[in-house]
Amino acid sequence: MQQILGNDIPTFIGVTLILAGGAAMLMGSALARTWRPFGQGVFYGLLLGLLSRFISFALFGGELLSLSGYVIDSIVLILFAFVAYRVTLAHKMVAQYPWLYERASAFNWRPRSGS
Protein backbone atom coordinates (compact mmCIF):
# COMPACT_ATOMS: atom_id res chain seq x y z
CA MET A 1 0.00 0.00 0.00
CA GLN A 2 2.90 2.33 0.69
CA GLN A 3 4.08 1.92 -2.91
CA ILE A 4 0.69 2.97 -4.27
CA LEU A 5 0.17 5.94 -1.93
CA GLY A 6 3.77 7.13 -2.04
CA ASN A 7 3.81 7.32 1.77
CA ASP A 8 2.54 5.36 4.76
CA ILE A 9 -1.10 5.12 5.88
CA PRO A 10 -0.88 7.48 8.91
CA THR A 11 0.73 10.16 6.75
CA PHE A 12 -1.97 9.72 4.11
CA ILE A 13 -4.69 10.04 6.75
CA GLY A 14 -3.08 13.05 8.45
CA VAL A 15 -1.93 15.03 5.45
CA THR A 16 -4.35 14.10 2.68
CA LEU A 17 -7.57 13.33 4.52
CA ILE A 18 -7.40 15.73 7.45
CA LEU A 19 -5.19 18.66 6.39
CA ALA A 20 -5.73 18.88 2.63
CA GLY A 21 -9.23 17.34 2.89
CA GLY A 22 -10.30 20.16 5.18
CA ALA A 23 -8.90 22.68 2.73
CA ALA A 24 -10.73 20.93 -0.11
CA MET A 25 -14.02 21.08 1.76
CA LEU A 26 -13.55 24.78 2.44
CA MET A 27 -12.69 25.30 -1.22
CA GLY A 28 -15.79 23.45 -2.41
CA SER A 29 -17.99 25.40 -0.04
CA ALA A 30 -16.46 28.71 -1.17
CA LEU A 31 -17.08 27.84 -4.81
CA ALA A 32 -20.74 27.12 -4.10
CA ARG A 33 -21.22 30.27 -1.99
CA THR A 34 -19.90 32.42 -4.86
CA TRP A 35 -21.96 30.59 -7.54
CA ARG A 36 -18.90 29.35 -9.42
CA PRO A 37 -18.98 26.16 -11.50
CA PHE A 38 -17.42 23.04 -10.04
CA GLY A 39 -14.99 22.80 -12.96
CA GLN A 40 -12.87 25.26 -11.04
CA GLY A 41 -12.97 22.82 -8.13
CA VAL A 42 -11.33 20.15 -10.27
CA PHE A 43 -8.48 22.52 -11.13
CA TYR A 44 -8.04 23.59 -7.51
CA GLY A 45 -8.27 19.97 -6.38
CA LEU A 46 -5.37 19.08 -8.67
CA LEU A 47 -3.36 21.92 -7.14
CA LEU A 48 -4.23 20.69 -3.64
CA GLY A 49 -3.02 17.25 -4.72
CA LEU A 50 0.37 18.79 -5.52
CA LEU A 51 0.39 20.50 -2.14
CA SER A 52 -0.42 17.24 -0.39
CA ARG A 53 2.41 15.45 -2.20
CA PHE A 54 4.86 18.20 -1.26
CA ILE A 55 3.87 18.26 2.43
CA SER A 56 4.14 14.46 2.60
CA PHE A 57 7.59 14.68 1.04
CA ALA A 58 8.92 17.66 3.00
CA LEU A 59 7.68 16.71 6.45
CA PHE A 60 7.33 12.93 6.43
CA GLY A 61 9.76 11.64 3.79
CA GLY A 62 7.14 10.43 1.32
CA GLU A 63 7.80 10.15 -2.41
CA LEU A 64 7.49 13.51 -4.13
CA LEU A 65 7.17 12.17 -7.67
CA SER A 66 4.76 9.31 -7.01
CA LEU A 67 2.26 9.49 -9.88
CA SER A 68 -0.14 7.00 -8.29
CA GLY A 69 0.06 8.87 -4.98
CA TYR A 70 -0.70 12.17 -6.73
CA VAL A 71 -3.65 10.69 -8.61
CA ILE A 72 -5.12 9.12 -5.45
CA ASP A 73 -4.58 12.31 -3.43
CA SER A 74 -6.16 14.46 -6.14
CA ILE A 75 -9.19 12.17 -6.59
CA VAL A 76 -9.84 12.07 -2.84
CA LEU A 77 -9.52 15.85 -2.55
CA ILE A 78 -11.79 16.50 -5.53
CA LEU A 79 -14.40 14.17 -4.00
CA PHE A 80 -14.21 16.03 -0.67
CA ALA A 81 -14.60 19.33 -2.50
CA PHE A 82 -17.56 18.02 -4.52
CA VAL A 83 -19.39 16.83 -1.40
CA ALA A 84 -18.93 20.23 0.27
CA TYR A 85 -19.94 21.99 -2.96
CA ARG A 86 -23.21 20.08 -3.31
CA VAL A 87 -24.16 20.40 0.37
CA THR A 88 -23.50 24.15 0.34
CA LEU A 89 -25.27 24.65 -3.00
CA ALA A 90 -28.34 22.74 -1.81
CA HIS A 91 -28.47 24.79 1.37
CA LYS A 92 -28.00 28.02 -0.57
CA MET A 93 -30.75 27.24 -3.09
CA VAL A 94 -33.28 26.37 -0.38
CA ALA A 95 -32.33 29.35 1.81
CA GLN A 96 -32.24 31.89 -1.01
CA TYR A 97 -35.35 30.70 -2.85
CA PRO A 98 -37.63 29.17 -0.19
CA TRP A 99 -40.79 29.81 -2.24
CA LEU A 100 -39.36 27.83 -5.18
CA TYR A 101 -37.35 24.97 -3.69
CA GLU A 102 -37.36 22.57 -0.79
CA ARG A 103 -34.61 20.26 0.33
CA ALA A 104 -34.76 16.77 -1.18
CA SER A 105 -31.60 15.42 0.46
CA ALA A 106 -28.34 16.71 1.85
CA PHE A 107 -27.03 17.06 -1.70
CA ASN A 108 -30.09 18.06 -3.69
CA TRP A 109 -33.22 20.21 -3.81
CA ARG A 110 -36.51 19.94 -5.66
CA PRO A 111 -39.22 22.34 -6.78
CA ARG A 112 -41.67 23.08 -4.00
CA SER A 113 -44.96 21.31 -4.47
CA GLY A 114 -47.94 23.64 -4.99
CA SER A 115 -49.95 24.29 -1.84
Low-confidence residues in the chain, pLDDT < 70: 114-115
What pLDDT is stored for residue 5 in this prediction?
Answer: 85
Residues 108 and 90: beta-carbon distance below 8 Å? yes
CA dihedral 79, 83, 85, 89 (to 10 degrees): 150
What pLDDT is stored for residue 114 in this prediction?
Answer: 67
What pLDDT is stored for residue 113 in this prediction?
Answer: 83
